[in-house]
Amino acid sequence: MSRRILLVNGPNLNLLGTREPEVYGTATLADVERITGAAAAELGFEVRAVQSNHEGVLIDAIHAARDDCAAIVINPGGLTHTSVVLRDALTGVSLPFAEVHISDVYAREQFRHHSYLDDVAAVRVVGRGVDGYADAVRQLAALIP
């Protein structure tokens, strides 16, 4: 079995560190990738990271993960609340995945309370800041034989 985890960050997460720091903190996307990679390495995994503001790019990356990844950690950003096709891609590849949100979506606008992924995600980490990515890796690793 592969010892690789796909890290997927969706729309606007390239703006981490500068976008609404009062909500998302000051850590950058590079920090997220470093934190996730370090947690994975501690458990004998490597990470391949992708970020895109385009839904199709994310779906293509998820499809490709089927060939060489054991799991997926995803922060779908705003696609959480809108994308049935992202859900279909994740369930279609039959890999365990963790849904991560930096902010506490339940303490924000009502529309953010709904996730198309929550009932199919193996792991959910919400409101733990960027450290939530490391938590997600650890929880997912425990599910991988």
List residues with catalytic annotation.
24, 101
Cβ(36)–Cβ(73) below 8 Å: yes
d(CA 17, CA 13): 9
DSSP track, 78-130: GGGGT-HHHHHHHHHTT--EEEEESS-GGGS-GGGG--SSTTT-SEEEESSTT
Q: Report which secondary-structure segment, H or E, holds 15.
A: none
State the Cα–Cα distance between residues 124 and 145, nearest whole angstrom. 20
